[in-house]
Amino acid sequence: MMYQIPMESLDRLLAAIAAQQKLYLPTDNTAGEAVYTEWTQGAALSKKLNTLRSAKDFFFPQIQNMAKFRREGKKIEVIDDRAEADDFCIFGVRACDVRSFDVLDNVFLADPVDTWYETRRKHATVISLACTRPGETCFCHTFGIDAAKAGGDIQCWETKDTFYLEPLTEKGQALADALIAADGELLTQCGADQEALVEKETERIHKILEKLPLYDLKAEDNRERELELFRSKKWKELSSHCLGCGACTFVCPTCQCFDIEDFNNGETVQRYRCWDSCMYHDFTLMAAGTPRLTQTERFRQRFMHKLVYYPKAHDGLFSCVGCGRCLRKCPIHMNIVKVMETLKEEKE
């Protein structure tokens, strides 16, 4: 079932959702970048295509407390001070970021389940938004993602005058039902004519996608070429200018590496985790040293993981969703597209 609301009433819809549960949406910051912000009256949905940092922050925050320890003599008390999470709603998530949750789920929800991640996932309702104007750095299509049908718990489209919503899961339908129960005049059920308009909008988006420079980029199944690619001489050339800054990993919706550290405040020890990057020279540093001595090895690890190791472990699913963030943020203009094209050339 599909619903609609006039675009001019979008604020009313946001207020109605925020009355049900905490609502986060992309808004423009002072630097003109879209960032997820908690909705307050008057907050305007960003018109940018994608947020600076991805929606993975909601489930896997950059810094997260895990537990506390208190010592009394020889006794160590472990304090799990997690509060029960409230339900929350993430609005305006693009199709690429919606797919990134599948990539993260495969890691964090696999046995043993990461309960910090699981709790946030369970409490979230994902409201996606079709990309009205996909951009030149987008290549989600390469990984079978449809920017015009973004998925999630409720998928949405915006046209010049109308906002459309389609609940896809029980959670999404429950939110739609709650909105209707609170205000019977908020959402209007779509008829066949309106559904045809949405179909027309998806076709319009598909036509834009077909004209994008990366539309023809193909994701090769490289699972059988693991050793050959690992030994490729191309890594040296590809990584020769990499600064090891980690920007590509921090903006990436599917990167999932973290470090666990302890902070002793004198009374208790706070254990927390924070994002880490396989591009850093001290990543997975052990007493015996680091397993990857050069930037070339670290660079190779990042892309082998996204394009070969992860698909090998997860039925061919790539650990890249073509969001294009790394294309925009790498200071030396190196990115996964150049890596994919180079590896393909080598095969040919």
Token digits of residue 340: 């994919």
- The answer to whether residue 67 forms part of the interface with ligand SF4 (CB under 6 A) is no
Nearest-angstrom CA–CA distance, 220 and 238: 18
254 counts as binding ligand SF4 under rule CB under 6 A: yes
Stretch that binds ligand SF4, among 33-41, 184-192, 218-226, 332-340 (CB under 6 A): 332-340
Q: Per-residue contact track with ligand SF4, 279 to 308, x per CB under 6 A?
A: x--------------------------x--
With H, G, I as helix, E, B as strand and everything else as coil, classify residue 278.
coil
Neighbours of 312 (CB within 10 A): 16
Candidate segments 128-136, 167-175, 307-315, 328-336, binder of ligand SF4 by CB under 6 A = 328-336
Q: Does 68 bind ligand SF4 (CB under 6 A)?
A: no
Which of 247, 269, 313, 317 lies at the binding interface for ligand SF4 (CB under 6 A)? 247
Min separation Cβ 205 and ligand SF4, Å: 19
How far apart, in whole angstroms, are the C-alpha atoms of residue 107 and residue 113? 9
Query: Does 198 contact ligand SF4 by CB under 6 A?
Result: no
Tell me which of 23, 127, 190, 252 binds ligand SF4, using CB under 6 A: 252
Q: Rounded to whole angstroms, what are the CA distances from 262 to 67, 79, 253? A: 10, 14, 26
Interhelix angle 95-108/115-123, rounded to 10 degrees, is 140
- Nearest-CA neighbor of 138 among 213, 232, 46? 213
256 in contact with ligand SF4 (CB under 6 A) = no
Contacts of 100 (CB under 8 A, 6+ apart): 54, 55, 56, 253, 254, 321, 323
Is residue 336 within the footprint of ligand SF4 (CB under 6 A)? yes
Footprint of ligand SF4 on this chain (CB under 6 A)?
242-248, 251-254, 279, 306, 320-326, 330-332, 334, 336
